[in-house]
Amino acid sequence: MKKTVLVSGGAGFIGSHVTVELTQAGYDVVIADNFSNCDETNYKGVCAILGRELPLIKMDFCDKAAVDALFAKYPIDAVIHFAAFKAVGESVAEPLKYYRNNLLSFINILDAAREKGGCNVLFSSSATVYGQTDQLPVTEESPRQPAESPYGNTKTMCEDILRDSVKAYPGVRGIALRYFNPIGAHPSALIGELPRGVPNNLVPFITQTAIGRRECLSVFGNDYPTPDGTCLRDFIDIVDLAKAHVCAVTRMCENKMKQEYEIFNVGTGKPLSVLELITAFEKVNGVKLNWKYAPRRPGDITAIWADPTRAEKELGWKAQRSTEETLAAAWAWEKKLAGK
């Protein structure tokens, strides 16, 4: 019997890649999105990769009646929750917008799971919860630090809401995946990162500068206590990240969880500096980037990378794709968007 997975925010960057991997692994996927952060480009790309259309429901997860109707219509075995506002700067300027949307949407999903009598819930969390830690690499036991932004705080709060819900409601089980820095695009170049306006993430800024959409790439800070003075991050390929979700959903659906609530880091375990990533992009794609140093940005931490041992041991998952493959795919996606 095929299992059905609801992917909230499934038309976005991570959601679209997860949808492809889930479908190819034999799951039925229902995509639901309100398209506040994206258009239908990635959804159409998903259908092109798979060679068929998937159910797409346009809805807002803050609308409880719509969430309940969705759970009534489909035999949902698991939910992966991506639907959230995600711009750090905007969350500082508009905290109530972020708390209302990011918390209420998740509460409505858990409520529907509870009313159904149980469901597997996978929450899309973030390494943001660790803050600037003294212990590197970070393990799942590393203490969470106070968030630097309301956006980051919603990740911490949703983890706690999930933890408390699985304790209270029989049949509701949860996994939180803490992502590090997802980058790249699908090797087909049919889906990838599609930021609206000025990108918040480094790689779209790199590719948009390379293609000529941006005049110059700013590297924020060259005086960090790192080998080359730029920040260190754990950049994880988007397809590798997507495969981790398949492993986690399978673990839940096959009743292999050791506890009702589990947490896993999803990263490579290998830090790269911002400068190293830029240099690698230039080398693998034969492109010279126009970039310059700029002052540090408030809220940027010096270094963070994962200890992915638990995910490898428990989920049987490990990052496979090389930085070169990832950056080549990101560039192929950017060129396709530009029609080149």
Average model confidence (pLDDT) for the chain?
Answer: 96
**Which residue range forms the structural domain that includes residue 258?**
4-183+236-266
What is the per-residue pLDDT across 104-156, written as a single tens digit (0 to 9) for each?
A: 999 999 999 999 999 999 999 999 999 888 889 999 999 999 988 899 999 99
Residues 125 and 89 grouped into a single domain = yes
Q: How far apart are CA 25 and CA 247, in angstroms?
A: 10
**Which 3 state secondary structure label does DSSP give 101?**
helix
Separation of alpha carbons 13 and 196, rounded Å: 12
pLDDT of res. 147: 87
Q: What is the CA radius of gyration of the chain?
A: 19
Q: Does some domain include residue 189?
A: no
Q: State the total domains in the chain.
A: 2
Residues 274-313: tens digit of each pLDDT: 999 999 999 999 999 999 999 998 878 899 999 999 999 9
Measured distance CA(179)–CA(306) in Å, rounded: 9
Phi, psi of 159 (to 5 degrees): -55, -45
C-alpha to C-alpha distances, 319 to 78, 129, 311, nearest whole angstrom:
23, 21, 10
What are the residues facing 318 on neighbouring strands? Answer: none
Question: Which residues are tagged catalytic?
Answer: 151
Q: CA-to-CA distance for 21 and 14, rounded, in angstroms?
A: 11
Confidence at 87, pLDDT banded by 50, 70, 90: confident
Is 83 inside a domain boundary?
Answer: yes
For 150-196, write each residue's pLDDT tens digit. 999 999 999 999 999 999 999 999 999 999 999 999 999 999 999 88
Q: For the domain that residue 330 is a member of, what is the CATH number?
A: 3.90.25.10
* Same structural domain, 119 and 228: no
* Residue in this structure with the two tokens 């933890």, named with its chain if needed: 163
pTM of the full structure:
0.97
List phi, psi (to 5°) of 56: -125, 120
Identify which of 340, 337, 311, 318 has the alpha carbon closest to the alpha carbon of residue 248: 311
Residue 105 belongs to a domain: yes
